[in-house]
Chains A and B, each alone.
Chain A
Amino acid sequence: MVRVDEKARSSRQKPDLLPVIVQDRSSLPVKVGDTHPSTIARTALAAAVLAVLWWILNPGDRLSWIIGVPTILLGTGTVLLLPPARSQHISVAGSLRFVAYFIVQTVLGAVDVARRAFHPFWVQQPAFLIWETDLPEGPPRWMFANTVTLLPGTLTADIDGPRLTINLLDRDLTPDLPTLEARVRDLFAL
């Protein structure tokens, strides 16, 4: 069994125009210079999304709204229990490009890991990589961290502010994280 835990450091700094973000507890989002959607906007959005979801699950069943309406109200209520995120503009074209990129990378990631699993003599040397992302706090960074997990050979093991601890399946891998960052920026029109 080979077990290599090497902290290969590869951080980079870029001039950052975004406000400094102070956050270390998920339950207490303290942000500076953010705009949050109003409670009314959040409620309306949540209710609309949940209503569409109900319609997809119960197509053409008008009676189902007897249960549907109270369910949607309850769902909307719990959304309000959760801390709001900074309102984020999403680019339609960017999201299409992101989805295409995401699907290709997901397939590549799965094929890569399957090849390693089935390979008779593959000696893996897992390693860790510290990555400092310049994506802003909130949905862009969440999207980045979660997508990293599905990319070939990378897994977000820890996240602390802009610093991501990424596990590499093999130390020889060179994940293309800047491209992913660019895709996320494209998605959120940053």
Chain B
Amino acid sequence: MSWAELLGVGLMGLGAVFFVAGTVGILRFPDVFSRLHAVTKADNLGLGLVAAGTGIMTADGFVAAKLALVWLLIAVSGAIGGHLIARHALRDKT
């Protein structure tokens, strides 16, 4: 394996750990808000690491740009989705 492959696989593996952390968080955290913390933050970094790993392995600038776009869209949707769910939950409660 070349160093790029090693680094790529390493980053993807680390990303998977964060995805697992997000899922464990959803199952273990006490309320809807805490669960949102788990999904938005852990999954966002997890996807970022997986995208970075894939980008390093393909070693193509345009593919890397596409992956960056995918990550950016998910990050934006994740942050706003988390906020909207939290807002809804907060307003239902009060």
Interface size of A as a range: 20 to 34
Task: Say yes or no for A9: interface residue by CB 8 A criterion.
Answer: no
Are the CB atoms of B34 and A110 closer together than 8 Å? no
* Minimal beta-carbon separation of B14 from chain A (angstroms): 10
Report the nearest A residue to B87, measured CB to CB: A158
Q: Which residues of chain A are within 8 angstroms of B36 by Cβ–Cβ distance? A: 155, 167
* Minimal beta-carbon separation of B6 from chain A (angstroms): 21
User: Which residue of B30, B37, B83 contacts A153 across the interface (Cβ within 8 Å)?
Assistant: B37
Contact string against A for B residues 54-82, beta-carbon threshold 8 Å, 1 for contact and 0 otherwise: 00000000100110010000011001101
Interface size of B as a range: 35 or more
Are the CB atoms of A169 and B42 closer together than 8 Å? no
What are 27 pairs between A and B in contact, CB < 8 Å?
Answer: A3-B30, A56-B65, A56-B66, A106-B41, A106-B45, A109-B45, A110-B41, A110-B42, A110-B46, A113-B22, A113-B25, A117-B22, A117-B24, A117-B28, A117-B38, A146-B79, A146-B80, A149-B79, A152-B41, A153-B37, A155-B33, A157-B33, A158-B91, A165-B90, A167-B33, A167-B36, A167-B37
* Residues of A that sit less than 8 Å from B by CB: 1-3, 53, 56-57, 59, 106-107, 109-114, 116-118, 124, 126, 145-147, 149-150, 152-153, 155-158, 165, 167, 169
Known: A124-B29, A150-B44, A155-B82. 14 other contacts (CB 8 A): A1-B30, A107-B45, A110-B41, A114-B21, A114-B25, A114-B42, A116-B25, A117-B42, A118-B21, A126-B30, A153-B37, A165-B90, A167-B33, A167-B37
